Amino acid sequence: MSQSFNKIGLTVKSGLSYKHEAVESVCRILKKMNKEIYGDPKRMEDMDGSSDMKPYKSENDIDLLIVLGGDGTIMRAIRELKDFSTPILCINRGTIGFLAEIELSDVKTDLPLLLNNGGMLDERHMLNIKALRAKEELFSGYALNDAVIAQGTIARLVDLHTKINNEELTSFHADGLILSTPTGSTAYSLAAGGPIVHPFLSATILTPINPHSFSQKPIVVPSSSKIEVTVSTKTNKFKDTEVVLTLDGQVYVPLQHEDKIVISKCTRTVKFLRKREDTFFGTLRDKLKWGERLEI
């Protein structure tokens, strides 16, 4: 990869422990490399040394966005940037940090290497999500990990009538349905019994949450598929069953009976700066302890 990163954006996880020390250590390295540092305008007050930074107004102001946090901070940063052309480098300060590339303890060695053409760009596709009520578009957005259609505050099963490319699939009678990218296959979908799918595959995973049928299992379809999910849950004599659409665990859209959610592959990708081309299996072993034998 031959790409110049001179204008570096920096954003940080809200409520991060030892936030100032982490920001200071990263900025020290960037200044030593004569990089221009641009701070997240919404969070500059939370970062020591922000007086030396310029706020970035859009993706056009920066060549690379460094995220100090975990996967949730990455999701938030992507949602706020809106344009996905700017590569992202995540320094892990979250819980698992599955999408993070380096640890804060390694920034002295790894950060200069990555910024001096020592890395690779890893492109991940996203889901394009639309929520429709009759002819009205309630919501339009994107998800890097998943879109979840599920019950709200009341513990009651919901009915989700699902079509793929206009062909009937099934009506899921379950706690909900997860529609996931391969990137999100190691998140909520995995916890609900879905498969691990390599992020280089072009696929969408449908994982029902606690289905009321043994025959309704997770299914993987081509990412080019158009998926339509219609809320078929009706009201009951006790209380209207609440159904919500959640994107990447951060965007919340209330739904009603007969609302339709349309899921397709986003034409744009999110780009991550990596140390090498494929670190997926190592990440599975290191962060999920995948394949390890239990000691008895």
Name the CATH architecture for the domain at 7-118: 3-Layer(aba) Sandwich (3.40)
235 vs 135: CA distance, rounded Å: 22
Phi-psi region of 67 (alpha: psi -120 to 50; beta: other; left: phi over 0): beta
Q: Kind and range of the H or E element at 77?
A: helix 71-81
179 vs 189: CA distance, rounded Å: 8
What pLDDT, on a 0 to 100 scale, did the predictor assign at position 144?
95
What pLDDT, on a 0 to 100 scale, did the predictor assign at position 96?
64
DSSP 51: G
Q: What are phi and psi of 71, to 5 degrees?
A: -60, -40
For residue 170, the number of C-alpha atoms closer than 13 Å in the C-beta half-sphere is 15
The CATH class for the domain spanning 127-266 reads mainly beta
What pLDDT, on a 0 to 100 scale, did the predictor assign at position 51?
59
What's the start-to-end Cα distance of the chain, in Å? 46
Closest C-alpha to 91, from 182, 198, 18:
18
Q: What are phi and psi of 283, to 5 degrees?
A: -65, -40
For residue 237, the number of C-alpha atoms closer than 13 Å in the C-beta half-sphere is 0
Phi-psi region of 62 (alpha: psi -120 to 50; beta: other; left: phi over 0): beta
125 vs 49: CA distance, rounded Å: 35
SS3 of residue 239 by DSSP: coil
Closest C-alpha to 264, from 222, 225, 206:
225
Q: Which of 71, 110, 146, 248 is catalytic?
A: 71
What pLDDT, on a 0 to 100 scale, did the predictor assign at position 290?
77
Q: Full-prediction pTM beyond 0.75?
A: yes
- Could you check whether 7-118 and 127-266 share the same CATH topology? no
Closest C-alpha to 46, from 91, 9, 15:
15
What pLDDT, on a 0 to 100 scale, did the predictor assign at position 295?
65
268 burial via Cβ count (<10 Å: 0-12, 13-18, 19+): middle
Number of C-beta neighbours around residue 2 at 10 A: 4
Closest C-alpha to 74, from 62, 60, 58, 88:
88
Q: Is 71 a catalytic residue?
A: yes
Domain spans of the chain, in order of start: 7-118, 127-266
245 vs 70: CA distance, rounded Å: 23
26 vs 22: CA distance, rounded Å: 6
Instruction: Note down pLDDT in tens along the chain; length 296 residues.
Output: 556 799 999 998 876 666 778 888 899 999 999 999 998 888 777 666 555 788 888 888 899 999 998 888 899 988 888 778 899 999 987 566 678 888 888 899 999 989 987 788 999 999 999 999 998 999 999 999 999 999 876 678 899 999 999 999 999 999 999 999 999 999 999 999 999 999 999 999 999 999 998 889 999 999 999 999 999 976 555 456 689 999 999 999 999 999 999 999 999 999 999 887 667 887 788 777 777 776 66
For residue 37, the number of C-alpha atoms closer than 13 Å in the C-beta half-sphere is 24
